[in-house]
Amino acid sequence: MLTIDLSGKRAFVAGVADDAGFGFAIAKALASAGASVCVGTWPPALGIFETLLRRGKLDKSRRLSGGGMLEFEAIYPLDAEYDSLEEVPAELRAEKRYRDRGDFSIDGLAQRLRDDFGEPCLDIVVHSLANGPEVTKPLLETSRKGYLAAVGASAYSFVSLVQRLQPLMRDEGSFLALSYLASQGVVAEYGGGMASAKAALESDARMLAFEVGRRWGHRVNVISAGPYASRAATAIGFIHKMIKYYELNAPLRDALRGDEVGNAAAFLCSSLASGITGTVLYVDKGYHAMATPADVEGLVDKLTAD
């Protein structure tokens, strides 16, 4: 029987702060396949995340399908907007949620992994990070600062992770990032430069696939996931409308589940996908294949009535 086996592999998942997002679902799937899992958490969310884990509030979500619990081998503070601690403004380093966390930059993360596990120590790196401070603004109203912040936090952070964690990767390593269909077409309320950031992320992944593939034999892929009501997505404000729209128009009409994205990630990071790199895998119930709404007549009737 063909199975996904990640036994003996160590994964690092950047962007896990609760049990409601794709990062957690991916971490859980990787652990279910036998991998040990470390995660990186944004410092302002880290204290709450640690408290939830300590008090058992996430125990139900941590249960694995084959028995046992998702255990994190390590949880690291990570603010992926900064490549090194020297770049962090002094006032941010002095904030309560940052000041006792040590080096929370990407450089600091790489050094902590070296200190804890030696070198090389990683087989899988997952980038589940995105942030756009002006995401609720139309692109026409987005400032240069907001636009560049979105691209830096959501796209360049993947490049930086690959740069700094590649030296820690064992043979046949796998890098994975998460994207969204707004990289390819218009999602009217997904503003602030976030669509541009996702397009950059996918383009960068293709270039990185070539560069790290030729140099070291590692693979780089992207999952473009459908809408999902994570806490971060819910904060944008229109996610439930998008979920309903997909249910009405996608070939598969049930709502996307986190474990479906997690299982796809486990496959892409496993030896079963050893011939796959530089690709964007759509896990969106097939919506990306649709050129028009499924119920065109109904939509026209509604627009006419309005």
Residues tagged active-site: 180, 190
The closest of 159, 190, 165 to 177, measured between CA atoms, is: 159
First to last CA, the chain: 55
CB atoms within 10 A of CB 70: 19
**Secondary structure in 3-state letters for 124-187:** EEEECCCCCCCCCCCHHHCCHHHHHHHHHHHHHHHHHHHHHHHHHEEEEEEEEEEECHHHCCCC
Burial class of residue 272 (count of CB atoms within 10 Å of its CB; 0-12, 13-18, 19+): middle
- Give residue 201's identity as a one-letter amino acid code: L
